[in-house]
Amino acid sequence: MSVLFLLLALASSATAGVVLDTNGDAVANGGAAYYILPDIFAKGGGLAQASTDNETCPLTVVQLPSEVQNGLPLRILSQAKIAVIKTDMGVDVSFIAVPACSPAPSKWTVVVGEEGTKSVKITGYDNTLKGWFRIQNYNSLAYKIVFCPTDAGSCEDVGISSDDYGNRGLVISNGNPFAVVFVKSPSLEA
Protein backbone atom coordinates (compact mmCIF):
# COMPACT_ATOMS: atom_id res chain seq x y z
CA MET A 1 0.00 0.00 0.00
CA SER A 2 2.93 2.40 0.59
CA VAL A 3 3.86 2.08 -3.09
CA LEU A 4 0.38 3.31 -3.98
CA PHE A 5 0.80 6.36 -1.76
CA LEU A 6 4.25 7.06 -3.26
CA LEU A 7 2.73 6.96 -6.75
CA LEU A 8 -0.08 9.23 -5.59
CA ALA A 9 2.44 11.70 -4.18
CA LEU A 10 4.42 11.74 -7.43
CA ALA A 11 1.24 12.19 -9.45
CA SER A 12 0.16 15.03 -7.15
CA SER A 13 3.30 17.02 -7.85
CA ALA A 14 2.86 16.54 -11.62
CA THR A 15 -0.77 17.73 -11.59
CA ALA A 16 -0.80 20.41 -8.91
CA GLY A 17 -4.24 21.79 -8.21
CA VAL A 18 -6.21 18.74 -9.36
CA VAL A 19 -7.76 16.48 -6.70
CA LEU A 20 -6.64 12.89 -7.30
CA ASP A 21 -8.13 9.59 -6.18
CA THR A 22 -6.04 6.73 -4.80
CA ASN A 23 -5.43 5.46 -8.35
CA GLY A 24 -3.83 8.78 -9.29
CA ASP A 25 -6.78 9.75 -11.50
CA ALA A 26 -8.44 13.15 -11.34
CA VAL A 27 -11.68 13.24 -9.32
CA ALA A 28 -14.50 13.80 -11.81
CA ASN A 29 -16.72 16.85 -11.44
CA GLY A 30 -20.19 15.43 -10.78
CA GLY A 31 -19.39 12.20 -12.56
CA ALA A 32 -18.11 9.09 -10.84
CA ALA A 33 -18.94 8.15 -7.26
CA TYR A 34 -16.25 8.07 -4.57
CA TYR A 35 -15.74 6.79 -1.06
CA ILE A 36 -14.11 9.26 1.29
CA LEU A 37 -11.78 7.36 3.64
CA PRO A 38 -9.22 8.36 6.27
CA ASP A 39 -5.70 8.77 4.91
CA ILE A 40 -4.28 6.12 7.25
CA PHE A 41 -5.63 2.58 7.58
CA ALA A 42 -6.81 1.73 11.13
CA LYS A 43 -8.23 5.24 11.73
CA GLY A 44 -11.82 4.15 11.07
CA GLY A 45 -13.87 3.62 7.94
CA GLY A 46 -15.60 5.69 5.33
CA LEU A 47 -18.52 8.09 5.59
CA ALA A 48 -22.22 7.32 5.98
CA GLN A 49 -25.43 8.81 7.37
CA ALA A 50 -26.75 8.22 10.88
CA SER A 51 -29.47 9.52 13.18
CA THR A 52 -27.97 11.41 16.11
CA ASP A 53 -29.46 13.40 18.96
CA ASN A 54 -33.22 13.58 18.36
CA GLU A 55 -33.15 12.90 14.63
CA THR A 56 -35.77 10.47 13.33
CA CYS A 57 -34.06 10.42 9.93
CA PRO A 58 -30.34 9.73 9.31
CA LEU A 59 -29.22 13.28 8.50
CA THR A 60 -25.83 13.39 10.25
CA VAL A 61 -22.65 12.67 8.30
CA VAL A 62 -20.57 10.19 10.31
CA GLN A 63 -17.39 8.19 9.97
CA LEU A 64 -17.94 4.45 10.32
CA PRO A 65 -15.91 2.84 13.12
CA SER A 66 -14.27 -0.01 11.20
CA GLU A 67 -11.54 0.43 8.62
CA VAL A 68 -13.10 -2.40 6.56
CA GLN A 69 -16.25 -0.31 6.01
CA ASN A 70 -15.97 1.93 2.93
CA GLY A 71 -19.16 3.77 3.82
CA LEU A 72 -21.59 5.14 1.25
CA PRO A 73 -20.53 6.46 -2.15
CA LEU A 74 -20.59 10.21 -2.68
CA ARG A 75 -20.58 12.54 -5.64
CA ILE A 76 -18.55 15.77 -5.70
CA LEU A 77 -19.84 18.60 -7.88
CA SER A 78 -18.57 22.08 -8.65
CA GLN A 79 -20.59 24.74 -10.44
CA ALA A 80 -17.54 25.34 -12.65
CA LYS A 81 -17.96 23.96 -16.16
CA ILE A 82 -14.82 21.79 -16.01
CA ALA A 83 -14.36 18.02 -16.09
CA VAL A 84 -12.36 17.59 -12.88
CA ILE A 85 -12.34 18.87 -9.30
CA LYS A 86 -9.49 21.20 -8.37
CA THR A 87 -8.22 22.06 -4.93
CA ASP A 88 -9.73 25.10 -3.25
CA MET A 89 -12.76 25.33 -5.52
CA GLY A 90 -16.23 25.44 -3.99
CA VAL A 91 -17.95 22.05 -4.19
CA ASP A 92 -21.16 20.35 -3.18
CA VAL A 93 -20.76 16.88 -1.68
CA SER A 94 -23.75 14.55 -1.68
CA PHE A 95 -24.47 10.91 -0.96
CA ILE A 96 -25.68 8.85 -3.93
CA ALA A 97 -28.26 7.03 -1.79
CA VAL A 98 -30.88 9.31 -0.24
CA PRO A 99 -32.85 8.17 2.83
CA ALA A 100 -36.57 8.00 2.05
CA CYS A 101 -37.23 10.42 4.93
CA SER A 102 -34.76 13.02 3.61
CA PRO A 103 -35.31 15.63 0.91
CA ALA A 104 -33.30 15.05 -2.26
CA PRO A 105 -30.56 15.73 -3.09
CA SER A 106 -28.67 14.64 0.02
CA LYS A 107 -26.24 17.54 -0.20
CA TRP A 108 -23.93 18.22 2.75
CA THR A 109 -24.72 21.30 4.82
CA VAL A 110 -23.43 22.73 8.09
CA VAL A 111 -25.92 23.12 10.94
CA VAL A 112 -25.32 25.09 14.14
CA GLY A 113 -26.47 23.06 17.16
CA GLU A 114 -27.83 24.20 20.51
CA GLU A 115 -24.38 24.44 22.08
CA GLY A 116 -22.85 26.25 19.09
CA THR A 117 -21.40 23.06 17.61
CA LYS A 118 -21.27 23.18 13.83
CA SER A 119 -22.10 19.72 12.47
CA VAL A 120 -22.04 18.39 8.92
CA LYS A 121 -25.53 17.14 8.03
CA ILE A 122 -27.39 16.40 4.85
CA THR A 123 -30.26 18.47 3.45
CA GLY A 124 -33.22 18.64 5.81
CA TYR A 125 -32.47 21.44 8.29
CA ASP A 126 -33.64 25.04 8.21
CA ASN A 127 -30.79 26.46 10.34
CA THR A 128 -27.95 25.77 7.92
CA LEU A 129 -24.98 28.03 7.37
CA LYS A 130 -24.53 29.34 3.84
CA GLY A 131 -21.23 28.53 2.25
CA TRP A 132 -19.19 26.01 0.31
CA PHE A 133 -17.05 23.01 1.04
CA ARG A 134 -13.58 22.93 -0.47
CA ILE A 135 -10.96 20.22 -0.80
CA GLN A 136 -7.44 21.33 0.12
CA ASN A 137 -4.06 19.61 0.12
CA TYR A 138 -3.27 18.39 3.62
CA ASN A 139 0.04 16.63 3.03
CA SER A 140 1.69 14.88 0.10
CA LEU A 141 -0.64 11.89 0.47
CA ALA A 142 -3.94 13.30 1.68
CA TYR A 143 -6.49 16.07 1.48
CA LYS A 144 -8.66 17.85 4.00
CA ILE A 145 -12.17 19.18 3.57
CA VAL A 146 -12.94 22.68 4.77
CA PHE A 147 -16.14 24.70 5.03
CA CYS A 148 -16.10 28.33 3.92
CA PRO A 149 -19.08 30.35 5.19
CA THR A 150 -20.19 33.04 2.77
CA ASP A 151 -20.13 35.67 5.54
CA ALA A 152 -16.60 34.91 6.78
CA GLY A 153 -13.20 35.66 5.34
CA SER A 154 -11.69 32.27 6.07
CA CYS A 155 -12.45 28.57 5.86
CA GLU A 156 -12.68 26.11 8.75
CA ASP A 157 -11.47 22.50 8.90
CA VAL A 158 -13.92 19.62 8.89
CA GLY A 159 -12.92 17.15 11.61
CA ILE A 160 -14.36 14.28 13.65
CA SER A 161 -16.07 14.45 17.04
CA SER A 162 -17.37 11.43 18.97
CA ASP A 163 -20.59 11.65 20.95
CA ASP A 164 -21.67 9.68 24.03
CA TYR A 165 -23.14 6.95 21.82
CA GLY A 166 -20.00 6.30 19.80
CA ASN A 167 -21.09 8.22 16.70
CA ARG A 168 -18.11 9.84 14.97
CA GLY A 169 -19.77 12.88 13.43
CA LEU A 170 -18.18 15.33 11.03
CA VAL A 171 -17.94 18.77 12.62
CA ILE A 172 -16.28 22.08 11.99
CA SER A 173 -13.05 21.64 13.92
CA ASN A 174 -10.40 24.26 13.26
CA GLY A 175 -6.89 22.97 13.68
CA ASN A 176 -7.90 19.30 13.79
CA PRO A 177 -8.77 18.28 10.21
CA PHE A 178 -9.96 14.85 9.10
CA ALA A 179 -7.26 13.84 6.59
CA VAL A 180 -8.86 11.93 3.72
CA VAL A 181 -8.31 10.14 0.43
CA PHE A 182 -10.80 9.55 -2.37
CA VAL A 183 -11.44 6.00 -3.58
CA LYS A 184 -13.43 5.57 -6.78
CA SER A 185 -16.49 3.39 -6.30
CA PRO A 186 -16.21 0.50 -8.76
CA SER A 187 -19.94 -0.08 -9.19
CA LEU A 188 -21.45 3.41 -9.34
CA GLU A 189 -19.64 5.15 -12.17
CA ALA A 190 -21.68 7.73 -14.06
Q: Distances from the Cα of 141 to the Cαs of 54, 133, 180, in angstroms?
A: 37, 20, 9
The verdict on residue 55 lying in a domain is yes
The verdict on residue 190 lying in a domain is no
**Best CA proximity match to 151, nearest among 110, 104, 183:** 110
Quote the pLDDT of residue 187: 67
99 has a pLDDT exceeding 60: yes
Separation CA 58–CA 149 (nearest Å) = 24
The verdict on residue 28 lying in a domain is yes
88 has a pLDDT exceeding 80: yes
Domain that holds residue 120: 2-184
In a 13 Å sphere around the CA of 9, the CA atoms on its Cβ side amount to 11
173 has a pLDDT exceeding 70: yes
pLDDT digit string, tens, across residues 21-31: 999 999 999 98
Quote the pLDDT of residue 140: 87
User: pLDDT-derived band of residue 37, with 50, 70 and 90 as boundaries?
Assistant: very high
Separation CA 137–CA 143 (nearest Å) = 5
Neighbours of 26 (CB within 10 A): 15
The verdict on residue 110 lying in a domain is yes
pTM: 0.87
Interior CA angle at 85 toward 84 and 91, to 5°? 135
CATH number of the domain encompassing residue 120: 2.80.10.50
The count of domains in the chain is: 1
What pairs with residue 89 in β-bridges? none
pLDDT digit string, tens, across residues 110-148: 999 878 899 999 988 888 999 999 999 999 889 999 999
